[in-house]
Amino acid sequence: MATAVGPHLGAHIVRLDVVRIPAGTRWAPEDAAAEENVIVVFAGGGHATSGDEKSDVRRSDAVYAPTGDPYTLTADASGELTAYVWRTTLRPERTPGTAPRRFSNLWRTETQLRGFNGTGEVAAADRTATMNFLFWPGTGTPQLCLHCGFMEPGEYFNVHVHPESEEAFIAFEGEGQLYLADRWYDAVPGDVLFAPPGVPHGTRHPQDDPSAARFATCGGPTPFDPVLYQRAGVSTEVR
């Protein structure tokens, strides 16, 4: 296990770990129930538990474990499982949802944000990406969230800031670029971006070839930023 985002980068709210589980073995972190956790399977497969619920998982599947509930990941006998794990300690003023969604997938399209023009730090591009909301207040998550932004060639998720949130996200699929502070950086699957509160960031697919594979990222601001849901026209109330 490696910590991609944590105190060594100045993160005080969110931590992002990379976990590799050998074939046929189970990972059950002892301190999981003390935190809110979101897990995305990056490679391999197996099954996961969250509280009393269980599901098979493969690449792009996601798991949510609310504060108070443990979770486990078990790799198939045929190969190791690699996952990214977002962790946070729930703030006292935040109340868990009553029946949170525990399993999802990055390509779930039921709730989306389209046409996001950023927050004005950098001139906005007209061709905007689409973002899926997987775990968010509408599914019962009070502090963490999980979004998947996907970009066809030439599309942007425009540069923006979160005034009070730390954001950690990963490049999940394809090749593109990540913006941080004042410049663009090339990114491939597995690369990680961390933006402290108030630091501009965004993503884009800079290629012109319309046949190029899409570029996708996943993660989200912690605590969740209500502006994203307000822009999408959905409630910010934790269900």
Tokens, residue 163 = 């005034």
Residues 137-175 pLDDT 10s? 999 999 999 999 999 999 999 999 999 999 999 999 999
* Assigned CATH topology for domain 2-94: Jelly Rolls (2.60.120)
Q: What is the pLDDT of residue 208?
A: 85
CA–CA dist 191, 208 (Å, integer): 22
pTM (predicted TM-score) = 0.97
* Fold classification of 112-232 (topology level): Jelly Rolls (2.60.120)
For residues 70-84, give the mean pLDDT. Answer: 98
Residues of the chain with CATH 2.60.120.10: 2-94, 112-232
* pLDDT (tens digit per residue) in 179-237: 999 999 999 999 999 999 999 999 999 998 999 999 999 999 999 999 999 999 999 99
Nearest to residue 172, comparing CAs of 195, 150, 190?
190
